[in-house]
Structure 1
Amino acid sequence: MISNFNPNIRTVQSTIAKHKGDQPFDGWEELWQKGGDTLIWDRGIPNPALEDTLIERRATIGEPATTDAQGNLHRKKALVPGCGRGVDVLLLASFGYDAYGLEYSKTALKECQEEERVNADKYTVRDEAIGRGKVMFVQGDFFKDDWLEGLGLSRNCFDLVYDYTFFCALDPSMRPKWALRHTQLLAPSPRGNLICLEFPRHKKSSLQGPPWGSTSEAYMEHLSHPGEEIPYNSNGECKSDPLREVSNGGLERVAYWQPARTHQVGIDASGEVLDRVSVWRRR
């Protein structure tokens, strides 16, 4: 369970707090350089909820590749912002996506390359007819376009975006920008799907982060009204209006469920999974 009494969490929080302002991500580079137990978000393996989604929810998110009339295979592009060690990127590639892992930390990118080199056999191809997609790890700021341009890509090119420990790592003040940026990166509907593994839902929103606790309503309000300042109460809880219309350019939630599996940190003492999976598309 997430606990603010964990000394490693306190180290993470104090390090990130030193780097607010123009360079909010520099603290993550410092943490990756420290390594060891400081990397509290690094589970070393992909989240089982993502693996199950890729297998069981294809009717919702589509296939990882398509074939044209001439029989040519066209792979979809998947993006993992704040990809950490890159395990989710490698998993997506094993399903057939051309997978892009975005990291601000140069040290984390070295860990991605090492994970790919040493543990490639863990990410076996899931469908021989589709094969493995390419893997690309890139250093950059999620909120800027220079990394896109460096890859020769344009906005709204990603068919799948996966967000797990990225939303909860950001200061809540950055959530309007986070939601707006997803609308700038995600391909048009129905091709483009944003998968959010919502965590930590069990942590009180009033407690210091990262990770910042959040309810599902916060995802709903921000993604359906990207760029807007969303009101929060004194307890840090999002004030949601279930009757409020999705804004022009906002994302719609097309699926939402309690996964059967997730990392242990998202499971309570009784064995109940507290995380949720939501899927979003551009309106």
Structure 2
Amino acid sequence: MTVPTPIQPEDVQAHLAQFKESKYVDGWASLWEKDTLNQQRGTIGGAIGEDAQGQSYRRKVLVPGCGRGVDVLLLASFGFDAYGLEYSPAALEACKKEETENHSWYRVRDQAVGKGKVTFVQGDFFDDAWLQTIGVPLNGFDLIYDYTFFCALEPALRPKWALRHTQLLAPSPRGNLICLEYPRHKDPKANGPPFAAPSEAYVEHLSHPGEDLPYKNGLVKQDPLRETSKSGLERVAYWQPERTHVKGQGENGVIHDRVSIWRRRN
């Protein structure tokens, strides 16, 4: 596993200076993503994989609800073929603008690996039409990055959200789903989006994809006797990020956000 060089305070300040006003959140997101891709390399692997025939290939990563495409561009700079999915045509235009205006930040991280392909596509996450557009089959993504997509959906869509991930994610151990769990500390009865997203909700839904699970007062009811679905995902890593945006912090800078990694059950 690659151990990243610690980021010094002055480096953080210089980095954040590139992200003004509404892009400030993106600055924080890219910082912890960089840590994730380095520190969790032993779990998620690198950008270059090997197929059953022993041939090398560039691994595919999906970012659903990619917004301005910051995450897509960063992942491509690490060498992944990165796909950003958005329902809104306006969002796709914003992605292209981000790529054009801030390309210097998304420099190649490893010259030996090179830069991956960037593809932005319009479509409905729950529909297959966009997959046909980009030529990727079901269970064709080596990595899926769910950053604020879960919390943006109505809780009634969470069973469908979990099931869809099992349809898009490659078999284990090749396929990994990364979730930024935010906002964990929000009142579960408060309106959204973003809707409260405690860790328990990820565990229950991803362990039982497609099942309508009972909620009470905005929280999913956990049942230790509920049988785990054979088609469900299992959590293989879970941690508190070293840094996050102020919205993911409580009093005295306590970090509420968590990051989790999931795989299909063998």
Please classify the TM superposition score into its range, dividing by the shorter chain length: 0.7 to 0.9
Deviation at 1:74, TM superposition (A): 1.3
CA RMSD of aligned residues (A): 2.0
* Shift in alpha-carbon separation, 1:240–1:129, aligned structure 2, 3 A: same
Instruction: Identify the residue that residue 181 of structure 2 maps to in structure 1.
Output: 198
Deviation at 1:41, TM superposition (A): 9.3
* One-letter amino acid of the structure 1 residue matched with residue 260 of structure 2: S
Deviation at 1:64, TM superposition (A): 1.3
Deviation at 1:245, TM superposition (A): 3.9
Instruction: Identify the residue that residue 81 of structure 2 maps to in structure 1.
Output: 98
* Shift in alpha-carbon separation, 1:226–1:67, aligned structure 2, 3 A: closer
1:208 aligns with 2:191: yes
- Using the size of structure 2 for normalisation, the TM-score is 0.87
Counterpart CA distance in 1 for 2:55 and 2:156 is 45
Deviation at 1:73, TM superposition (A): 4.3
Corresponding residue to 1:277 among 243, 252, 259: 259
What is the CA deviation profile of residues 135-182 of structure 1, one whole-angstrom value per residue up to 9, with x for unaligned ones?
000000000000001111110000000001100000000000000000
Structure 2 counterpart SS, 1:221: helix
Corresponding residue to 2:44 among 41, 53, 61: 61
* TM alignment of 1:1-283, pairs within 5 A: 43-45=25-27, 46-66=29-49, 73-233=56-216, 235-242=217-224, 244-283=226-265
For structure 2, the residue ranges without an aligned partner over 5 or more in a row are 1-20
* Bigger mean CA deviation after superposition, 255-264 or 197-206: 255-264
* Shift in alpha-carbon separation, 1:142–1:212, aligned structure 2, 3 A: same
Counterpart CA distance in 1 for 2:85 and 2:24 is 15
Identity across the alignment (%): 64
Deviation at 1:242, TM superposition (A): 4.3
Instruction: Identify the residue that residue 20 of structure 1 maps to in structure 2.
Output: none
Instruction: Identify the residue that residue 15 of structure 1 maps to in structure 2.
Output: none
* One-letter amino acid of the structure 1 residue matched with residue 222 of structure 2: S
Contact 1:204 1:214 in 2 (8 A): no
Counterpart CA distance in 2 for 1:69 and 1:262 is 38
Deviation at 1:63, TM superposition (A): 1.2
Structure 1 counterpart SS, 2:263: strand
Q: Extract structure 1 runs of 4+ deviating beyond 6 A.
A: 68-72
* One-letter amino acid of the structure 2 residue matched with residue 228 of structure 1: E
Counterpart CA distance in 1 for 2:124 and 2:227 is 31
Counterpart CA distance in 1 for 2:224 and 2:261 is 17
* One-letter amino acid of the structure 1 residue matched with residue 62 of structure 2: L
Contact 2:80 2:117 in 1 (8 A): yes
Counterpart CA distance in 2 for 1:142 and 1:41 is 24
Counterpart CA distance in 2 for 1:72 and 1:185 is 22
Deviation at 1:86, TM superposition (A): 0.2
Contact 2:180 2:257 in 1 (8 A): yes
Contact 2:140 2:170 in 1 (8 A): yes
Deviation at 1:264, TM superposition (A): 2.1
Counterpart CA distance in 1 for 2:181 and 2:152 is 12
* Shift in alpha-carbon separation, 1:231–1:129, aligned structure 2, 3 A: same
- Using the size of structure 1 for normalisation, the TM-score is 0.82
* Shift in alpha-carbon separation, 1:199–1:163, aligned structure 2, 3 A: same
What is the CA deviation profile of residues 101-153 of structure 1, one whole-angstrom value per residue up to 9, with x for unaligned ones?
00001001000000001101011211111011000000000000000011111
* One-letter amino acid of the structure 2 residue matched with residue 82 of structure 1: G
For structure 1, the residue ranges without an aligned partner over 5 or more in a row are 1-36
